């Protein structure tokens, strides 16, 4: 399906955020290992990124690994770390000639030096790009992000910050707030995802497990988004 033909009357969010959930349940349903779900989930991400760029979404945030996900069995965490390492190579290769900027939300210091080097290189090499911004949340926790910002402010000995200034101390300093958050798998919670930035985001919780999320799921989601009436506390015009 060429989704671009089907976009009439559909509002395109400037910033889309995805909480990739349901890899394990997708695998279980197919009698596969949870790790197979993560592998398929990564392929799904690569594919959907293509469509997301094609339809003109400018910012994409992807929640891939939370501060709480370290509490999973070691074998699963190790698999995910390996997948991130390969995934970064793949993404860098995929985007090397494109106007794509990578930013990271989360503390990288818990990852191996090899992963950190790869990510830092990609971030540095794409620093001046701006066509499409991919914000990857790795070892990300929303509360940790806020506390980190507070500590930076204390270290700089500032006496007063307003909301605008405060938000400059977050990982998302240069990004607009997400317009639309999609969490797959039917779970209706944010699980420590962007608590500061999502106060006025539209939320959508489709039942589909992440590995099965395809262009028509995205189109359906965008149709839902297009019907939302975003009032920001005002009265409808
Ligand atoms: C999302 O899928 C991937 C990560 C959080 C890393 P899950 O692994 O959470 O899949 P379920 O929720 O157990 O099905
Ligand atoms: C949220 O999914 C975190 C990511 C998608 C990275 P989880 O599967 O970890 O969340 P909970 O445990 O169901 O809240
Ligand atoms: Mg989950």
Burial (CB < 10 A; 0-12, 13-18, 19+), residue 107, is: middle
Predicted pLDDT of residue 1: 67
Q: Which residues of the chain have pLDDT under 70?
A: 1
Q: Which residues surround ligand 3, an ion (CB under 5 A)?
A: 21
Ligand 2 is surrounded, with C-beta below 6 A, by: 19-21, 63-66, 69, 187, 189, 191
Ligand 3 centroid – CA 194 distance (Å):
17
Nearest protein CA to atom 8 of ligand 2, as residue? 21
- Nearest-atom number in ligand 1 for the CA of 187 is 12
Does the beta carbon of 213 sit less than 6 angstroms from any atom of ligand 1? no
| Active-site entry in 23, 31, 33, 69 | 69
pTM: 0.97
Predicted pLDDT of residue 44: 98
Does the beta carbon of 185 sit less than 6 angstroms from any atom of ligand 1? yes
Predicted pLDDT of residue 17: 99
- Interval 99-145: pLDDT, tens: 999 999 999 999 999 999 999 999 999 999 999 999 999 999 999 99
Predicted pLDDT of residue 3: 84
The reply to whether 99 belongs to the active site is no
Ligand 2 centroid – CA 68 distance (Å):
8
The reply to whether 214 belongs to the active site is no
- Nearest-atom number in ligand 2 for the CA of 19 is 5
Ligand 2 centroid – CA 128 distance (Å):
32
Predicted pLDDT of residue 100: 98
Predicted pLDDT of residue 12: 98
Q: Does residue 69 contact residue 34 with C-beta atoms inside 8 Å?
A: no
Does the beta carbon of 24 sit less than 6 angstroms from any atom of ligand 1? yes
């Amino acid at each position: 399906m060429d989704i671009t033909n089907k976009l009439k009357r559909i509002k395109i969010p400037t910033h889309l955020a995805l909480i990739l959930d349901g890899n394990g349940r997708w695998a279980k349903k197919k009698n596969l290992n949870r790790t197979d779900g993560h592998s398929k989930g990564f392929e799904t991400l690569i594919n959907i990124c293509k469509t997301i760029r094609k339809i003109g979404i400018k910012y994409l945030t992807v929640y891939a690994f939370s501060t709480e996900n370290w509490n999973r069995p070691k074998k699963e965490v190790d698999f995910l770390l390996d997948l991130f390492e390969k995934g970064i190579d793949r993404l860098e290769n995929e985007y090397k000639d494109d106007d794509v900027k990578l930013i990271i939300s989360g503390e990288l210091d818990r990852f191996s030096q090899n992963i950190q080097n790869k990510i830092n290189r990609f971030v540095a090499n794409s620093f001046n790009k701006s066509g499409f911004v991919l914000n990857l949340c790795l070892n990300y926790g929303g509360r940790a992000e806020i506390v980190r910002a507070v500590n930076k402010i204390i270290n700089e000995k500032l006496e007063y910050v307003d909301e605008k200034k405060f938000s400059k101390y977050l990982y998302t300093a240069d990004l607009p707030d997400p317009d639309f958050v999609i969490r797959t798998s039917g779970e209706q919670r944010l699980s420590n995802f962007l608590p500061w930035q999502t106060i006025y985001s539209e939320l959508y919780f489709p039942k589909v497990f992440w590995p099965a999320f395809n262009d028509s799921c995205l189109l359906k989601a965008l149709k839902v988004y297009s019907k939302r009436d975003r009032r920001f506390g005002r009265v409808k015009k």
